[in-house]
Amino acid sequence: MSLKQLRRVVVVGGGSAGWMVAAALSRLLLRDDGREHWTIELIESEEIGTVGVGEGTIPAIRAFNSALGISEDEFLRETKGTFKLGIEFVGWNAPGSRYFHGFSDVGRPIDGVPFHQYWLRLRKAGFAHDFADYSINSVAALQGRFIRPRQDMAHSPLGEIGHAFHFDANLYGRYLRRRAEQQGVVRTEGRIGEVLRDPHNENIAGLRLSDGRLIEGDLFIDCSGMRALLIEQTCAAGFENWSHWLPCDRALAVPSESALPLLPYTRSTARSAGWQWRIPLQHRIGNGHVYSSAFMQDREAADVLLSTLDGKPLAEPRLLRFAAGRRKRTWVGNCVAIGLSSGFVEPLESTSIHLVQSAITRLMDLFPHAGLDAADIAAYNRQTQFELERIRDFIVLHYKLTTRADSPFWNYCREMPIPDTLAEKLELFTSNARIHRVDTELFRESSWVQVMLGQGLVPNGYHPVCDIHPLPRLRAFADDIRDIVGRCAATMPMHEDFIASSCRARDEDHFTVPT
């Protein structure tokens, strides 16, 4: 393999994905003397626009922003963001049901055995409270409270708070653009008219813009969204369709006026042919209706969305079409797909931004020489496939574990066959409430347990060690956790007050309830 250095990186597409790539790579490659070795150019067209409609995230984004040198308060001011402690699921198991998936652990283990095992014994004896009552994230979120984890209280629930953010994805992209350009990234405005190939291999040699300009490069990052201009239209990577497991194929998105209280969590409400998101930002609420066109018409979906908003809509609903699935290869030759160009899993658990982040990290770990090593490319594709499939399983779980029988859509979801990897997890949990986390899969045991229990899956048994402890002692232990969590949550400020004191966007009063 040639060890000649790769010098020219070209990012195709802006938006949050493209500028996340540009900001991260420029931080790595263009610092100190790096500008003598590398150039990074991003091509985007204002005419095309981006998908970004507002984002919920998971806690890993904090590490990404930190690696870029971005302070949390600055990030939230620039993106008009809010804090997120988890997701409330309404109506997913049955109409009227609700549960909370929080970002913190639930309870405390005993003798290395997870808390949920003991909770199941208490539940069988009639002494268990709602599972969410033992989680600081869940209790605080549902009271509308927030505080950052207290570093001086490592053994208290206040030191174990896990948080992510809601923010405006378009503003995040613009913010990262400014930082990336300051770090040396060159932005080129234009539409790509032709992709030029190397006649000796499958590599991309350059991009001809519609005005005739030629952009040459050594490594091309496809952030062109669902168009997949390079990875699919040019490199023919192939697409594995998951619509039989995830039948939703459309979404309508619309912002609405702000409303108090400013909730520190995303809400996902099941509808007759899909679900509706609610993401509170400082200046508005982001709303969307994800649905299956096989079970609901666009007009009906819009009526459902607009009739259930908390406030006046601020625009007309925007229609997005998609197909759940992944590219069979996300790195082909000298082209790497990142973001929606690499595949799509609906944002039910807020994984879209994380998938961009993890792809960037993976690319940095396997960053190539100009010769491109087949082993590196194979490792990248294998790791990407594993990550996407395991996230897919977690999303499918929400649909499969429903008792709803009130619409053809939910009947289909309840009865559909599922991936073997998910079936194995369900069988293991159904028997004795065990979760086996495989390798580097994203969601931890706590997440799987909260969703499985929340969706109404009660295991047949629990770990036999749980029977060693006297029931009164276990009951006192669990009640103590619940009491401490409740008292800690009560000391936390309201979410809107915390934002007003630390990271409120500067340009408007975001907490005035419209009249």
Task: Provide the token pair at 466.
Answer: 């749980």
Among residues 57, 48, 56, 62, the alpha carbon closest in space to that of 18 is found at 48
Tell me if 307 sits within 8 A of 218, measured CB to CB. no
User: For residues 480-501, b (16+ Cβ closer than 10 Å) or e, as one string?
Assistant: ebbebbbebbeebebbbebbbe
Among residues 133, 87, 101, 162, the alpha carbon closest in space to that of 487 is found at 133
Q: Which of 4, 80, 84, 328 is the catalytic position?
A: 84
Judge whether 4 counts as a catalytic residue. Answer: no
Among residues 301, 263, 298, the alpha carbon closest in space to that of 280 is found at 263
Tell me if 154 sits within 8 A of 161, measured CB to CB. no
Name residue 134's amino acid.
Y
Q: Which residues contact 60 (CB under 8 A, 6 or more apart)?
A: 164, 354, 357, 358
CA geometry: angle 227, 232, 237, nearest 5 deg = 150
Task: Provide the token pair at 84.
Answer: 């997120």
Query: First and final CA of the chain: distance in angstroms?
Result: 67
Residues labelled as active-site residues: 84
